[in-house]
Amino acid sequence: MFEIAGRTHRLQAALDAETDDLFILFRDTTNGRETYGAGRFLHAPKPDVSGRTTLDFNRAYNPPCAFTPFATCPLTPAENRLPVPIRAGELRYRGEPDSHMIRP
């Protein structure tokens, strides 16, 4: 759990076996306008002994499907849709064709 603008939020994460860290798919209210419509990816260190980790949204990045219609990407789980803007990390790719962008 974490707090943004006085509200508590939670994101589901998966363990990335290749990097041994947490892998998170998330959406926020910037998707489709400022950032890629289907959401972004984020890696975070595994929790420490107290169960805490750091989410650095400056490291959020676009999935491969943001750059080409020939890539496939997982859909963001409903529980990872944040009702707030995350104005950090990679923005919407300027050459992104609208034909393959998922609109919120």
The verdict on residue 47 lying in a domain is yes
Asked if residue 35 belongs to a domain, the reply is yes
Sign, CA torsion 75/44/11/83? negative
In a domain, 83, yes or no: no
Q: Classify 79 as helix, strand or coil.
A: helix
Q: Is residue 99 part of a domain?
A: no
> Residue 87 falls within a domain, yes or no?
no
Give the integer Cα–Cα distance in Å for 39 and 37. Answer: 6
Q: What is the pLDDT of residues 5-43, one digit of tens each?
A: 899 999 999 999 999 999 999 999 999 999 999 999 999
Residue 42: domain span: 1-77
Query: Which tens digit of pLDDT belongs to each residue from 71-87?
Result: 999 999 999 999 999 99
Question: Chain centroid to CA 34: how far?
Answer: 13
pTM of the model: 0.86
